Amino acid sequence: MADIKLIKLTEQLIDIPSVSFSEGRIADFIFEFLSECSHLKVQRIGNCIIAENIVDGREATVCLAGHIDTVPPNNNDKSHYSDQKLYGLGATDMKGGIAVMLKLAVNLVKPHFNLKFIFYPCEEVDNKHNGLRQLYEADLNYLSCDSAILLEPTNGIIEAGCQGVVKLKILVKGKRSHSARPWMGLNAIHRSYKVIQGIADFKEMRPIVDSLEFRETFQAVLVSGGIATNVVPDESVITASYRFAPNKNSDEAVEYIKNYLGLFIESSLGDKIEVLDVSDAAYPGISNPILNRIVSITKEVRPKLGWTDVAFFSKLNVPAINFGPGDSSLAHSEDEYVTDVQLCNVYDSLFKSLEN
């Protein structure tokens, strides 16, 4: 049976605009909603809301976290409910998850663990603006906990850990000449073929981490070069993305992929590899006793093939999982929706896992 209150709460959240950098109104709503609960200690840091439920005799703390921002609207800024589906901007990513968090915060008055609920802005934009990063840099105690659950959309299936990411720029050099006399120059675009082929031939690895099979991939994502149709180009730039499993740390991943690319470039000609950005992977941690309570209820676990904010908790050696309502493949689409069944199932699974 559909939970009408949970659906209505999700509708309310969808109908509050909260595009990244404009989360003030939804932060106001969440702060006021939670401040009415006497069992919660609620504080606001910018547009981050932290609500804590500290129960006498409880030693372990479980953190539930979710971002409150959305991408810009695409003719979907108002919610509507049809055929057991709730449509609207952020329905999947991730106002359905936020609604579940709010209902859990209200209803878990004396849970089996201490609980911390973190609602944060700016997840959908550059990582430097991420609300969790702001909390992480301001005071590590904000993220202090023994295990964490991010209610990102996972189709109601636990997705443990996450891949790390290394973004690179490969500069391939050449020598300019007139395109009618290419023998007097060296075509950098032609030379870049070897690098692109090397990336295309990258052998996908599938390491087993904490009993889960991750996949490592390497993809060229941007290519640029040339200045005019009558000039042999002296420079070509390939941007690439390496997704690595949590059996490597960031330093190991960078060293590994740079060594691999070194097989296809010639530094004597001026070729260079530049690391643009690195995001840590997160260890699955499903053997953690707290998270295993959820696993025992949902029965299904898979690795997270992608990067999520569980990595922030991984930096603190906190095991974390992704578990939320909604199909991530619908995120940011015009027809984004979340089903009432998934809202209820995720809420019920977490309530049973966390209740006393």
Give yes or no: residues 154 and 8 share one domain: yes
Give yes or no: residues 51 and 129 share one domain: yes
What is the reported pTM? Answer: 0.88
Give yes or no: residues 39 and 87 share one domain: yes
Which residue in this structure is represented by tokens 């809301």? 49
Give yes or no: residues 107 and 214 share one domain: no
- Tell me whether the omega of the peptide bond preceding residue 94 falls within 30 degrees of 0, making it cis: yes
Give yes or no: residues 148 and 40 share one domain: yes
Give yes or no: residues 153 and 300 share one domain: yes
Per-residue confidence in pLDDT tens, the chain, 356 aa? 578 899 999 999 999 999 999 999 999 999 999 999 999 999 999 999 999 999 998 989 999 999 999 999 999 999 999 999 999 999 999 999 999 999 999 999 999 999 999 999 999 998 889 999 999 999 989 999 999 999 999 999 999 999 999 999 999 999 999 999 999 999 999 999 999 999 999 999 999 998 899 999 999 999 999 999 999 999 999 999 999 999 999 999 999 999 999 999 999 999 999 999 999 999 988 888 999 999 999 889 999 998 999 998 988 899 999 999 999 999 999 999 999 999 999 999 999 999 98
Name the residue range of residue 223's domain. Answer: 164-279
Give yes or no: residues 101 and 124 share one domain: yes
| Of the residues 253, 279, 305, the one at which a domain ends | 279
- Spatial distance between the Cα atoms of 150 and 274, rounded to a whole number of angstroms: 32
Is residue 322 a contact partner of residue 154, using CB atoms and an 8 Å limit?
A: yes
How many domains are contained in the chain?
2
Give yes or no: residues 14 and 34 share one domain: yes
CATH number, residue 25:
3.40.630.10
Structure-token pair, residue 287: 């053997």
CATH number, residue 201:
3.30.70.360
Give yes or no: residues 191 and 266 share one domain: yes
Cα atoms in the Cβ-side hemisphere of radius 13 Å centred on 282: 31
- Spatial distance between the Cα atoms of 109 and 314, rounded to a whole number of angstroms: 28
Give yes or no: residues 13 and 82 share one domain: yes
Report the catalytic residues: 69, 123
Give yes or no: residues 273 and 288 share one domain: no
Give yes or no: residues 66 and 137 share one domain: yes
* Strands 61-67, 114-120: pairing kind: parallel
Structure-token pair, residue 170: 């490969």
- 244: β partners: 164
| Of the residues 264, 279, 294, the one at which a domain ends | 279
| Of the residues 279, 301, 335, the one at which a domain ends | 279
H or E, element range at 244:
strand 235-244
Contacts of 91 (CB under 8 A, 6+ apart): 10, 14, 79, 326, 336, 337, 338
Nearest to 329, CA basis, from 353, 355, 306, 302 = 306
